[in-house]
Amino acid sequence: MVVLSSSFAAPVEGVLYESPLTKLLVNNQELGTATLYITENNVVWGGGVGATGGNSPTISLLYPTISLHAVQREPSPALYMVLNYELRLPELTQQGGGDAQNDEDDDEDDDFDADTHPITQLRFIPQNEADLNPMYSAMSQGQGLHPDPADEVDDEDPYMDGEEFDDADEEFEDAEESNGAPDEAAARLRQLRLENANGPHYEDYEDAEATE
C-alpha cells in the first residue's frame, strides 16, 4: 500500500534512519527535496519542497509494496527502489504535460505488460553520498521485520537472503529482493532450482539487478 498526502507529520517511533534534504525521482521525474524516514513500519518521504515550488507531497510506503531496493551509483548515487505498484501523482502529470499519453501509448508496444505487472521506480538521492550505506542497511533491517509468509522456504536456501552483487553491473552495488513481488521471485527460484538439478553451473548465472 502506498499512502499519498498533502499534509506531513514526521514519524516519531521506530525510526531506523533519517536523511534530510533527499531528492526523490519517480520514474526519472523529479518530485522535490524532502526528508526520508526509514522506519520499522514504513518508508516516509515528505516535509520538503516540491520540484515546482510549494510543499512537497508526502509519500508513505509499506514494505510489502517494495519489491527491490539497492544502492545505485549511476547516473547519480541513490537508494533505488522498485514498487510493485503504479504510483500516480498529480505533480508528475503536470510536469509531463501532453507527453504522458504518448509515453503510455509507447509502453503498450513493449513486451512488458504494465497492466499485469505495474511497477514504479524510485530514486532517493541524499545530499551526502555517505548516507547511502546506512540508508540501505536501514531498509534491509525494516524489510526483515516484514517477511512475506508466501516466500518462506528452507532456512538453508541461499536465494531468499539479501545478497551483495559484486559481479553485477557496477550501477548497483547492493540489491535485495523484498516481499512485494512473490510471483517473479518464485519463478526465478524455480528456474534456478531446475537448472541446478542438472549440475552446479553457477557461473552461468548473472546476478539479479534492478530493472530500469
pLDDT for res 144 = 93
Q: What are the C-alpha distances in Å from 37 to residues 14, 17, 50, 123, 171?
A: 10, 6, 17, 14, 24
Confidence (pLDDT) at 59: 94
Cα torsion 169, 16, 37, 65 to 10°: value is 60
Q: Does domain 2-204 have CATH number 2.30.29.30?
A: yes
136: Cβ–Cβ under 8 A, 6 or more apart, which residues?
Answer: 69, 70, 71, 79, 174
Domain ranges of the chain: 2-204
pTM: 0.65
* Number of residues that this document lists for the chain: 212
User: Would you say the C-alpha torsion 163, 73, 53, 29 has a positive or negative sign?
Assistant: negative
Distance CA 130, CA 149 (A): 34
Q: Which residues of the chain have pLDDT under 70?
A: 1, 91-117, 149-212
